[in-house]
Chains A and B, each alone.
Chain A
Amino acid sequence: QQQVKQSPQSLIVQKGGISIINCAYENTAFDYFPWYQQFPGKGPALLIAIRPDVSEKKEGRFTISFNKSAKQFSLHIMDSQPGDSATYFCAASMYDFNKFYFGSGTKLNVKP
């Protein structure tokens, strides 16, 4: 049973456009939702994270929107740049266990 479902699997966006990646979860005990960015040949690196007590978090061009009632959260990349081309993973964890459940990843290609 997949704890975190991520879509789309791949995404092509023109430079300057908005990239949107969506994730959904079932376990209401999750209390931490990070997004990771992975470049080819590298490990995932934390991009931005949110806790369920807020509905939105913004860091530069990256924004997480969180909908607790729908059990969904999404990553928005504004003014997408070719350098943003990477694979993005959403994840969820709960404090008691500190185990992370990852989505299947979205490969983003930003065309110049």
Chain B
Amino acid sequence: NAGVTQTPKFRILKIGQSMTLQCAQDMNHNYMYWYRQDPGMGLKLIYYSVGAGITDKGEVPNGYNVSRSTTEYFPLRLELAAPSQTSVYFCASSLKDRSNQPQHFGDGTRLSIL
């Protein structure tokens, strides 16, 4: 059981570069999320998706883009990386059925922008 898989685990970017953080889940979950976690802080929602083809903004969407063409994949795109985007990024998924279900998290991508 892979669960939620994130790649890469670590990355260093230069200011102005772009990159895509990959996220895949094999649990057939309909909901997927991207969070960022800054040191000593909680999780802030960047974007989320309720199903293939449907995405919506979270608390801190500026500077990011997402797409969801399939149930399994939910990549996060950083355009024109800025030092303020240095963070740990977590992807999560959950199954929405008759009741709330917990989120399952990947192990994160640690991103430094210099």
Interface residues of chain A, those whose CB is within 8 Å of chain B, are 6, 9, 31-32, 34, 36, 41-46, 49, 51, 89, 93-95, 98-100, 102-105
Contact = CB atoms under 8 A, between A and B. Distances in A.
A55 to B, nearest CB: 18
Contacts, number: 54
A48 B39 CA distance: 24
Interface residues of B, number: 24
Interface stretch (B13-21, B70-78, B97-105): B97-105
A99 B44 CA distance: 11
Interface of B: 4, 31, 33, 40-43, 45, 48, 50, 58, 90, 92, 94, 96, 99-100, 102-108
Nearest to A49: B102
B42 A100 contact: no
